With several copies, the nearest count.
Chain A
């Protein structure tokens, strides 16, 4: 199991706790995509991806994050990120994706930012 995905709700925000690696193939990226699609289908508009336990993302995994963001946006929902490990943070810098994603280091702040 490369990637674990658990969802919980706090104050109307769905927090998706991810753990492991989000990489090419081995269903890990598919899992994230499916989770976000399901949440959107259920009408959720505020999605917070908690990457605190994600040790590694490759370019394919970054693509999944971007796709989740775009799909959500197109449905009037928002996807934000929480708790990036240093390696993941570096990749957002390298790829300039930090200009796309709103990133928090604190769950309470992140939840407030949706209101």
Chain B
């Protein structure tokens, strides 16, 4: 079953925003009936998306906000993280699992998001910036989900 609240926040470009996004998404997923493993995976993916918005997109600018929402839509949990940055082309991002990149200290966020949740869409936002949409498919049925 699982009720789910819709949440929509405008957050500053600070580290606490990354924590808040993670905690809110996890809390709502838990209330929405998702099991602990799915909740954890969502939390990690949201963290990566929010960290990118704060660090790459908005570059910690005090003038720029992170727009964050969570909602249950047709039985799927949808999280959106939008920044007000320059945007980027995800197709240009190097594969962090290829040998020449394995020892790099960064570049694993998008890979992690894609591995952790069921759907990831990275798109240009209007008028500017990036919007990342993360989707978890419906919670397992009650027996499985418990």
| Set of chain A residues within 8 Å of B102, measured between Cβ atoms | 66, 96-97, 99-100
When the two chains form their complex, are residues A91 and B112 in contact, meaning their CB atoms are under 8 A apart? yes
A97: nearest chain-B partner, CB-CB: B102
Residue of A nearest to B106 (CB): A63
* A60:B106 contact, CB within 8 angstroms: yes
Question: Given contacts A2-B3, A99-B102, is CB(A59)–CB(B112) below 8 Å?
Answer: yes
Q: A59–B103 contact, CB under 8 A?
A: no
Q: Are B97 and A24 in contact (CB under 8 A)?
A: no
Of listed A23, A59, A91, residue having the most chain B CB within 10 A: A59
Indicate whether A26 sits within 8 Å of B96 (C-beta atoms), given known contacts A59-B51, A66-B103: no
Report how many residues on chain B are interfacial, defined by Cβ distance under 8 Å.
Answer: 27
Report whether A70 and B18 are in contact in the complex, using a CB–CB cutoff of 8 Å: no
Shortest CB-to-CB span from A94 to chain B, Å, is 4
User: Is residue B47 contacting chain A, with contact meaning CB distance below 8 A?
Assistant: yes
| C-alpha spacing A24/B18, complex, angstroms | 9
Q: A94 CA to B116 CA in the complex, in Å? A: 9
Q: By the criterion of a CB under 8 Å from any partner CB, how many residues of chain A are at the interface?
A: 31
Q: Which of B81-116 contact A (CB under 8 A)?
A: 96-97, 102-106, 108-109, 111-112, 115-116
- Is residue A1 within 8 Å, beta carbon to beta carbon, of the partner chain? yes
Listed residue (A2, A24, A64, A87) with the most chain B CB atoms within 10 angstroms of its CB: A24
Q: Provide the A80-95 mask, 1 if CB < 8 A to any CB of B, else 0.
A: 0000000100010011
Contact A95 B103 (CB under 8 A): no
**Closest 7 A/B residue pairs (Cβ):** A25-B15, A63-B105, A20-B3, A96-B97, A59-B108, A94-B115, A59-B109
User: Could you tell me which A residues sit within 8 Å of B by CB distance?
Assistant: 1-4, 19-21, 23-26, 55-56, 58-60, 62-64, 66-67, 69-70, 87, 91, 94-97, 99-100
